[in-house]
């Protein structure tokens, strides 16, 4: 049981480049989330999904897109990277909605945009 | 709108106690608590629900005052393994995390 995995672990992009971060979970969870973590800011929700084929915006969605074509995978895309997107990105999943079900986090992706 | 955690940081000696507070400006359905060690992913500690129900994996105690929209996490007889950054996540439908409280436990 791998839990939540993220690919890649590290990435350096130049301004304007694009990339996709992959999140996979093997716990059959319905909900999946993408967060970014910046120093002193805690975890901020970018986008989330309540099930296969559905996505919704979180607190800081601008500059990101997501897709959930399969229940176990949640992709985060940066179409045109900016230095302000330098951050650590965490994916998480939960069995159901966030009110009473704990979230399981992946190991994170450290992204630097130069 | 982000929940407010206090203190921002605390240094403890092994065996000492500490309290971490989390305040929200909105009415809450539940409060989540997570701990993150340096360079690692956040790990679930506890959920406190309206009505007093709690779910947790560890022997950590916490309280949830629905009327005051506050929660507190109690680190009792702290151990070295308690070091890390603690995040609260009050939920009124979606989770929104506080900025974190850094806890350092020294021998």
The pLDDT tens digits of the residues spanning A24-39 come to: 999 999 999 999 999 8
Whether residue B92 has pLDDT greater than 60? no
Task: Find the mean pLDDT for residues B32-57.
Answer: 87
Scan residues 52-81 of A and list those with Cβ closer than 8 Å to B: 58-59
Q: How far is CA A86 from CA A75, A82, A89, A110, in A?
A: 18, 8, 9, 8
At residue B6 the predicted structure's pLDDT band, cuts being 50, 70 and 90, is very high
Q: Which of residues A53 and B2 earns the better pLDDT score?
A: A53
Write out chain B residues lying below 8 Å of A59, CB-based.
96
Q: What is the pLDDT of residue B50?
A: 78
* Best of B41, B66, B84, B91 to mutate (most A CBs within 10 Å, chain A): B41
Task: Find the mean pLDDT for residues A8-19.
Answer: 97
SS3 category, B60: coil
The pLDDT tens digits of the residues spanning A67-105 come to: 999 999 999 999 999 999 999 999 999 998 757 788 999
Whether residue B73 has pLDDT greater than 60? yes
- Cα–Cα distance, A36 to A54 (Å, whole number): 20
Q: Compare CB distances from B30 to A90, A99, A107 and report the shortest one's residue.
A: A99
| A44 token code pair | 């901020």
Strand B43-49, strand A4-7: pairing: unpaired
% chain A with pLDDT above 70:
98
Write out chain A residues lying below 8 Å of B42, CB-based.
43, 90, 105
Give the end-to-end CA distance of chain A in Å, rounded to a whole number. 36
- Cα–Cα distance, A103 to A91 (Å, whole number): 10
Whether residue B57 has pLDDT greater than 70? no
Task: Find the mean pLDDT for residues A48-55.
Answer: 94
SS3 category, B28: coil
Q: Is the dihedral of CA B91, B92, B96, B99 positive or negative?
A: negative
At residue A56 the predicted structure's pLDDT band, cuts being 50, 70 and 90, is very high
Q: Any bridge partners for residue B10, and if so which?
A: B103
**Mean pLDDT rounded to a whole number for chain B:** 88
**Mean pLDDT rounded to a whole number for chain A:** 94
Q: Which residues, at least 6 apart from A112, have a Cβ–Cβ distance to it below 8 Å?
A: A11, A12, A13, A86
Whether residue B93 has pLDDT greater than 80? no
């Amino acid at each position: 049981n791998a839990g939540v995995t993220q690919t890649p672990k590290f990435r350096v992009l130049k301004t304007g480049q694009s990339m996709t971060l992959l999140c996979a979970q093997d716990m059959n969870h319905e909900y999946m989330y993408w967060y970014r973590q910046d120093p002193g800011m805690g975890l901020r929700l970018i986008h989330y999904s309540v099930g296969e084929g559905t996505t919704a915006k979180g607190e800081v969605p601008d500059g990101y897109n997501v897709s959930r074509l399969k229940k176990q995978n949640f992709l985060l895309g940066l179409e045109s990277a900016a230095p302000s997107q330098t951050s650590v990105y965490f994916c998480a999943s939960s069995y159901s909605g966030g009110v009473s079900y704990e979230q399981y986090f992946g190991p994170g992706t450290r992204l630097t945009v130069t | 709108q982000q929940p407010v955690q206090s203190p921002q940081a605390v240094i403890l000696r092994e065996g000492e106690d500490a309290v971490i507070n989390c305040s929200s400006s909105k009415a809450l359905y539940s409060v989540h608590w997570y701990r993150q060690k340096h360079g690692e992913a956040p790990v679930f500690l506890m959920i406190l629900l309206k009505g007093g129900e709690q779910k947790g994996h560890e022997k950590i105690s916490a309280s949830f005052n629905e009327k005051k929209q506050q929660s507190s996490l109690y680190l009792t007889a702290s151990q070295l393994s308690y070091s890390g950054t603690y995040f609260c996540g009050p939920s009124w439908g979606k989770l929104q995390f506080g900025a974190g409280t850094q806890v350092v436990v020294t021998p």
